Amino acid sequence: MDKSKSVAVVGAQWGDEGKGKVIDYLASKADIVARFQGGNNAGHTVVYGANIFKLHHVPSGILNAGTLCLLGNGMVVDPLVLVEELFELEKRGIDTSKLYISGKAHLNMAYHKDLDEANEELLGEKKIGTTGRGIGPAYADKVMRRGIRAVDMTGFERFRERLADILPLQNRILKEIYNHKGYDLDELFELYCPALERLGPLVTDGSLLLIENLTAGKKVLFEGAQGALLDIDHGTYPYVTSSSTVAAAAATGNGVGPQHISQVLGVIKAYTTRVGEGPFPTEDRSEAGEQLRERGNEFGTTTGRPRRCGWFDSVIARYAAMVNGLTGLAVTKLDVLSGMDTVNMAVAYSCSGAETNNFPGSIEELKECTPVYETYSGWDEDISRVRRFQDLPAAARHFLKALEENVGVKIELVSVGPDRSQTITCQDSSLESWIVP
């Protein structure tokens, strides 16, 4: 298989790794950008010159004229939010006519958001810290076989009928368990009618669209959201999102065979952040963590919540490499570390008196782990204008080489600022055919 044909770009930490920027960088050479999981819990910030775009459902590829964008069957799509997102893009002159939605994608409905919020409230101190966007309840309904799918948006009668079948149970749950007033069928239907009109024509057979294009030799970029440690199976359960965030999900979440994923690029920050609850071994609650938050502007794109910050953790990175089958790394936000006297990197964990290189299987064990750090010299130089690896300060190169060695995966790209242009392509990168010189 031609290695240049498709690449999956996935988060290798707890999300917010800077996937949007990396995807945007590669998307100019992509014929199709396809998302495969999650919904508007995701938030990608793409900076292009003076323009800042905050995307939630829509793949970053939308900013490239001519690139097809697909919301895959593995997603949960909030029709009301998507309509708003498209409107905002169009207002700023972005052509959205090449966006398609897989008919098999599930809809994230108003009652899912209510259930998400109510569930978090009920959990109290044990809450997950969700984005409150209804993601968990929407996936739960999919698995319970009582979801509404994008294909149901292609006919008003069809949508109303499906809603009529489902709403009585949703209302019972809302009223009897969560003390919510529930929804009136006619009112809810009316609320969604404009979205049906706008989005119905975008619904397509996502698998067919991709396979036809792949067969014709087109380049497909699979856009992941969140990160490996938030994966429903492989993440820090229950403090995870409700979808499969790892690279293999690019196949199931788009209805193509796994042989179509030829490269897996893991996006990873030069330090670590997390939003929401759950264990985070390298979290730094001292001044260094505060510095990372301020310099890295670590506040959520979706919720505005301050992110928890800490040092780079090779243990989770190695784990992410394993569960994703990473073939390369894109290290982001290296510039944020400039000006630090020293930079720490966890190389192992110390758990119950023993040292381990492996990520523990349960959060109970993880809570007991403390990081074993290696400390590197910092650098003072402003690296935001550096465009070649060899032009980075020696200390920064040394840090990256150690990171590469500790994770065991080749660094392909290094990001030194939010703009598309602030990206270093490493020598012999296998992504070269994706990069505009």
Interface positions with ligand IMP (CB under 6 A): 15-16, 41-43, 128-131, 133, 135-136, 225-226, 230, 239, 241-242, 275-276
Residue 140 CB burial class (10 angstroms; 0-12, 13-18, ≥19): middle
Q: Which residue is nearest to ligand IMP (CB)?
A: 276
CB of 256 to ligand IMP, least distance (A): 24
Contact 16, 231 (CB under 8 A): no
DSSP 75: B
Q: Which pair of structure tokens corresponds to residue 14?
A: 């707890």
Distance, CA of 139 to CA of 145 (rounded, Å): 10
In sign, the C-alpha dihedral spanning 305, 309, 312, 313 is: negative
Residue closer to ligand IMP, measured from CB, 61 or 276: 276
Shortest gap between Cβ of 430 and ligand IMP (angstroms)? Answer: 27
Tell me whether residue 419 is one of the annotated catalytic residues.
Answer: no
Q: Which of 16, 78, 114, 116 is catalytic?
A: 16
> How far apart are alpha carbons 343 and 180 in whole angstroms?
49
Please state, in angstroms and rounded to a whole number, the distance separating the CA atoms of residues 159 and 415: 44
What's the chain's Rg over C-alpha atoms?
A: 22
d(C-alpha 43, C-alpha 297), whole Å: 14
Dist. CA 373–CA 84, nearest whole Å: 45
Please report, as a single letter, which amino acid is at residue 352: S
Minimum CB separation from ligand IMP for residue 51, in Å? Answer: 21
In 205-253 the beta strands, taken as DSSP E runs, fall at: 220-223
Q: Which helix (H) or strand (E) holds 8?
A: strand 6-11
Closest approach, Cβ 45 to ligand IMP, in A, equals 11
Q: State in angstroms the smallest separation of the CB of 116 from ligand IMP.
A: 7
Closest separation in Å from C-beta 135 to ligand IMP: 4
The full DSSP string for 187-199 is: HHHHHHHHHHHHH
Nearer residue to ligand IMP within complex by CB, 276 or 328: 276
CA contacts within 13 A on the Cβ side of 183: 23
Distances 299 to 54, 307, 308 between C-alpha atoms, Å: 13, 5, 9
Provide the minimum distance between the beta carbon of 107 and ligand IMP in the complex, in angstroms, as a whole number: 16
Catalytic residue among 24, 31, 44, 116: 44
Of the two residues 16 and 24, which places its CB atom closer to ligand IMP in the complex? 16
Looking from the CA of 354 toward its CB, the CA atoms found within 13 Å total 6
Using an 8 Å Cβ cutoff, are 265 and 22 in contact? yes
The smaller minimum CB distance to ligand IMP, of residues 11 and 61, is found at: 11
What phi, psi does 102 have (nearest 5°)?
A: -65, 135
Q: How buried is residue 336: exposed, middle or buried, by Cβ count under 10 Å (0-12/13-18/19+)?
A: buried
- The phi and psi torsions of 404 (rounded to 5 degrees) equal -60, -45
Kindly tell me which of 60 and 226 has the beta carbon lying closer to ligand IMP: 226
What's the min distance (Å) between Cβ of 149 and ligand IMP? 20
Select 129 or 393, whichever has its Cβ closest to ligand IMP.
Answer: 129
Instruction: Give me the helix-helix angle, 394-407 and 314-324, nearest 10°.
Output: 50
Name which of 128 and 326 has its Cβ closer to ligand IMP. Answer: 128
57 flagged as catalytic: no
Catalytic residues: 16, 44
